[in-house]
Amino acid sequence: MAVLLRALLRPGRPPGTLGRHPGQREASLCADPGAPVRVRFAPSPTGFLHLGGLRTALYNYIFAKKHGGTFILRLEDTDQTRRVPGAAENIEDLLAWAGIPPDESPCRGGPAGPYLQSQRLELYAQAADALVRTGAAYPCFCSPQRLHLLKKEALRNRQTPRYDNRCRNLSQRQVAQKLASDPKPAIRFRLDEEAPAFQDLVHGWTRHEVASVEGDPVVLKSDGFPTYHLACVVDDHHMGVSHVLRGSEWLVSTAKHLLLYRALGWRPPRFAHLPLLVNADGSKLSKRQGDLMLERLAAAGFLPDALLDMVTNCGSGFAENQMGRTLAELIAQFDLSRVTCHSALLDLEKLPEFNRLHLRRLVSSETQRSQLVEKLQVLVEEAFGSQLRGTAVLDPAYVERVILLRQGHICRLQDLISPSHAYLWTRPAVGRAQLGAISDKVDVIATRVLGPLTHWPSSRLLEGCAASLTQDTLNAELRRLSEGLAGTEHSHVMKLLRMALSGRQQGPPVAEMMVSLGPEEVRERIQKVLCS
């Protein structure tokens, strides 16, 4: 701050000549075409990562990987009053969980660190000093109370609040006098110049004359922390960011950023302002929407690839709109020139179907399936504990058989520990009276079923191996069994067996239940009901 104060008392050159390069054209406002691709995801740790943030991070990641570039995570933690404890760590952990870890970050480090803005204050002070020395910025001594009154008056008159630039024309003597009583003023950037047009990679050629509608913005606060406008420009420059892919809410502010680049004599990156991801009703996503939080979705059993697939499927950037794309396919197929300006509607009701597709893909892989078996074993033990019918239900072969049989009927692995699937892990409490209410031929049906079970073709089945059993074979046998029972409908036989095996009136097909449980457990359950 001492350096900055000295700069405040030195005469500067006229602001109208700041950063101008002879013959510079607006069309040249772009990153060096030969420079390596470096992009950044720069969230504020004022909340935990939600689907909107994941989508912005994903677009940056797949753009970087498609072009052999670098994906940077930078945390914009300059607003210390709003920082949420644990949010910074949560963001990086969840990016790794989602399969899109940064190449450079606060945890991983990197050549352009530190990656926390609160640790880069000296860089911002140097930039502010440079702006003040050239007359592009000036100290502002206005109190918070005065600024509040300006805003209140503007709103009362139904006008857009803006700073009235009161301090921009203070003389050197006035500045010196005020510094004596207020040695830490805020620094404001002069919006004198005509804002340059720039070619946004999504919105095309764009220009916003911010000076005509806004007052001079604060770039460095009195506490030494920068505002977003200065911090993002300084950091993107020093980190060598080649492309800025961020939400379209920052499109208008880009004019200010380009003016800052010009005043500092730096080449700006290319900009691509992504359309917003909005709720199905068109409202903006909020960090307060708990059902959008990545941590909660992960805990609920939704897969990373399903989330990545959904947030890209509802937007643009691809030749075809299809479900089921993997991260590798997203990278290969992504085309920034295909991103449109239209907001992307997020329909969370479709997430279960996306998850079903990606869960089936994991099941089809032997390596991934073994990992699912391990996860389901943990879920089952946590959910049922002492209620388990024995350690046999945690046997990997049994758990794998359950997953293979149910894969087309569930959306999440957690569905297999829901009440409708509890019969797979615990023995239901079913009384003979419950079966009698369905049919008066309980004993006959049980005898017909238990008879064939003891004579199923392979003796291996009695040893617990049900691999040779198929639903088709059992369905045919059960159909013949029903046909041999005069006056009894097949549906009643199925209802009775389903109740005996699961304790429920509805559920998976009876043949599937029998294949899942195996002949020994099926016999055990039916005999238990007969003896009750």
Q: How far is CA 286 from the centre of its chain?
A: 13
The closest alpha carbon to 107, from 73, 83, 61, belongs to 73
Distance CA 238, CA 226 (A): 15
Contact (Cβ atoms closer than 8 angstroms) between residue 73 and residue 102? yes
Q: Which residue has the tokens 């990197």?
A: 110
Q: In the chain, how long is the greatest CA-to-CA distance?
A: 110
Contact (Cβ atoms closer than 8 angstroms) between residue 167 and residue 141? yes
For residue 226, give Cα distances in angstroms to 76, 140, 217, 426, 446.
10, 14, 11, 60, 78
Contact (Cβ atoms closer than 8 angstroms) between residue 179 and residue 8? yes
Distance CA 49, CA 35 (A): 30
CA dihedral 493, 498, 499, 505 (to 10 degrees): -100
Per the annotation, the verdict on 287 as an active-site residue is yes
Whether cis (ω within 30° of 0) applies to the bond prior to 114 is yes
**Per the residue annotation, which of 287, 350, 375, 528 is the catalytic one?**
287
Contact (Cβ atoms closer than 8 angstroms) between residue 231 and residue 187? no
Contact (Cβ atoms closer than 8 angstroms) between residue 109 and residue 149? no
Distance CA 322, CA 124 (A): 44
Distance CA 429, CA 435 (A): 12
Secondary-structure percent of the chain, ordered helix, strand, coil, rounded to 5: 50, 10, 40
H or E segment to which residue 273 belongs: strand 270-274
The closest alpha carbon to 515, from 477, 479, 475, 471, belongs to 471
**Residues belonging to the active site:** 287
